[in-house]
Amino acid sequence: MTASLPVHDQYDDPDHRPGGELPGGVHLDSTAQIMNRISTRLAGRLSLLARDRTPRPTPPVLVLVAHGSRDPRALATVRTLAERIRELRPGLSVRLGHIELDEPLLPDTLAALGEESAVLVPLLLSRGHHVKRDIPEAAAAVPARTRVAPPLGPHPLLVATLHARLLEAGWHAGTSGAGRARSAVVLAAAGSRDPDAALDTGRTAELLADRLGVPVVPAYASAAAPTVADAVRSLNARGRHRVAVAPYFTAPGRFATECARAAPGLAAAPLGAHPLMARLVLHRYDRTAATAAGTERALSSA
């Protein structure tokens, strides 16, 4: 039994409203961020007990659904992300399944669940064929009780991660009007023929533009236009000659590498296993698990 949830929660995390700053900013070594991490771990441990200190029911397994890549850095990245999630949520069973190219493959991971309940969180950034068809069909083919969470994007935590990666790469548009008038960013995504994917990527570009104060133009490695090179030329024609590329990929791979090579100058790293990505995965998991629990209670009381 499987169900999918629509993407309607871009701003449903009260700590990440549009226009607001993340607690402690993006500098993860700040006191505020350290305290937030300690609080998160403590909350994870306390959540294992009910108010009367009896054990709570076992939470659903979290299945991270990665695309898979021939680049070995991709598998290393998603494994690191899984470890960061386990650190944030001790006691939560976190497993990994790939759509293709890497092992374990998703059908094998799901088959190993038996009749356990699980929430599948796609490590994908927009809606498309994998999110709409491949993942739900794989979940429906096994006896495990599953729910499929929305893709990771769009969401303010993704925008914060993109911003952090740009800063790590040396991004600085300057505070003067002249400096910003010369600057822009290309948001380089994989691309899809599904129009919903373009809508989701475009929304992320809008949110990142609001955060940076400069234009952000989506571009694609395949299946959609414009390419990164075309987007850069278009921005140059508008007087934007300081153009950075922000790879919109969850892990390194061929497309991410090709997009970075097309950058005229600065290119950030992919989103990767940034700590904010671990928080976003848990956010998707929690909301989906809570919705599933509410549905089951409603059915049992009907």
Q: Which active-site residues does the annotation give? A: 67
- How far is the C-alpha of 184 from the C-alpha of 189, rounded, in Å? 16
DSSP one-letter code for 117: E
Secondary structure element (H or E) that encloses residue 258, with its range: helix 254-261
Show the DSSP H helices in the chain as ranges.
31-46, 72-88, 106-111, 129, 135-140, 156-168, 177-181, 195-212, 228-237, 254-261, 275-301
Region for residue 10 given its phi and psi (left: phi exceeds 0; alpha: psi -120 to 50; beta: otherwise): alpha
- How far is the C-alpha of 26 from the C-alpha of 54, rounded, in Å? 37
Q: Which residues fall within 8 angstroms of residue 135, CB to CB, at 6 or more apart?
A: 65, 99, 106, 120, 122, 148
Neighbours of 236 (CB within 10 A): 14
Contact indicator for 252, 71 with CB cutoff of 8 Å: yes
In the numeric block, the tokens 């995504």 are attached to: 189
Q: Which residues make beta-bridge pairs with 29?
A: none
Cα→Cα distances 216→134, 186, 228, 277, 294, Å: 30, 6, 12, 21, 39
- How far is the C-alpha of 202 from the C-alpha of 187, rounded, in Å? 9
